[in-house]
């Protein structure tokens, strides 16, 4: 049976979040597992040449669910997972605290917050946040996921500096949906709602989670 678009997107999010959580636990740990995670994140930040798919294969393709997607949609699925993992690699770089929302930690609340809220937490004062909004507009105007990824990377690097975390379950889900004309508007509507609707009552709490 063919999955609905939003059901498939949710499974993309679940698959990606499991990979991010494993990487994050290892990265913040010690010993060989930490060293391996740091090396994996470095490869994600700087994929190189024709061998990059093989060098990343163990991380990217292990434990992928069989969603029975068309060849085109399977390509979209892989692109969304790969882009989310790359963004996490930039987000976590040189940080010794978790930059991905930890699964199970205030999960019900965290999962209501989109990438738009993480962007707002970079600079809650809208008068000072013109640069963040320009980058968000560039993501929305991008012609494809590859172009959007460039602007998303700039945003997560700001989040790394500002100690704003991201729910990678929701981000991976949205990266998949962004590749469908029928769903793009829903993604950016939610990001805009969460960005402009933020009231500021828990900025410190959100940054410190």
pLDDT of residue 2: 55
Predicted confidence (pLDDT) at residue 153 exceeds the cutoff of 80 = yes
Predicted structure pTM score: 0.89
**pLDDT value of residue 65:** 76
* Bigger pLDDT: 206 vs 197: 197
**pLDDT, tens digit (0-9, with 9 covering 90-100), for 10-36:** 999 999 999 999 999 999 999 999 999
Question: What are the DSSP E strand ranges found in the chain?
Answer: none
Q: Is the pLDDT of residue 204 over 60?
A: no
Gap between the Cα atoms of 40 and 175, Å rounded: 21
More confident residue, 49 or 100: 100
Q: Which pLDDT belongs to residue 201?
A: 54
Question: For the stretch 23-48, what's the b/e string if a residue is b when 16 or more beta carbons lie within 10 angstroms of its beta carbon?
Answer: bbebbeeeeeeeeebbebbebbeeee
Query: Which residues on neighbouring strands pair with residue 166, listed in sequence order?
Result: 100
pLDDT at 98 over 70: yes
Domains of the chain: 5-208 (1.10.520.40)
Q: 72 or 65: whose pLDDT is higher?
A: 72
Q: Which residues contact 136 (CB under 8 A, 6 or more apart)?
A: 116, 119, 151, 155, 191, 195
Residue 108 is predicted with a pLDDT of 47
pLDDT tens for 127-144 read 999 999 999 999 999 999
State the pLDDT confidence band at 209, using cuts at 50, 70 and 90. very low
**Are the beta carbons of 170 and 128 closer than 8 angstroms?**
no
């Amino acid at each position: 049976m063919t999955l609905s678009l939003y059901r498939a997107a949710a499974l993309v999010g679940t698959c990606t979040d499991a990979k991010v959580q494993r990487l994050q636990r290892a990265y913040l740990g010690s010993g060989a597992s930490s060293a391996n995670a740091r090396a994996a994140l470095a490869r994600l930040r700087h994929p190189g040449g024709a061998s990059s798919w093989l060098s990343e294969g163990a991380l990217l393709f292990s434990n992928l669910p069989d969603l029975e997607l068309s060849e085109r949609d399977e390509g979209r699925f892989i692109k969304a997972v790969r882009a989310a993992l790359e963004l996490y690699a930039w987000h976590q770089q040189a940080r010794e605290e978790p930059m991905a929302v930890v699964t199970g930690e205030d999960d019900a609340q965290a999962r209501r917050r989109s990438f738009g809220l993480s962007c707002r937490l970079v600079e809650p004062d809208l008068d000072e946040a013109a640069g963040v909004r320009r980058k968000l507009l560039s993501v929305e105007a991008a012609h494809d996921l590859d172009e959007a990824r460039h602007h998303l990377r700039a945003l997560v690097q700001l989040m790394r500096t500002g100690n704003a975390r991201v729910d990678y379950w929701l981000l991976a889900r949205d990266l998949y949906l962004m590749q469908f004309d029928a769903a793009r508007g829903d993604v950016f509507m939610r990001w805009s709602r969460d960005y402009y609707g933020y009231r500021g009552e828990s900025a410190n709490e959100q940054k410190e989670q």
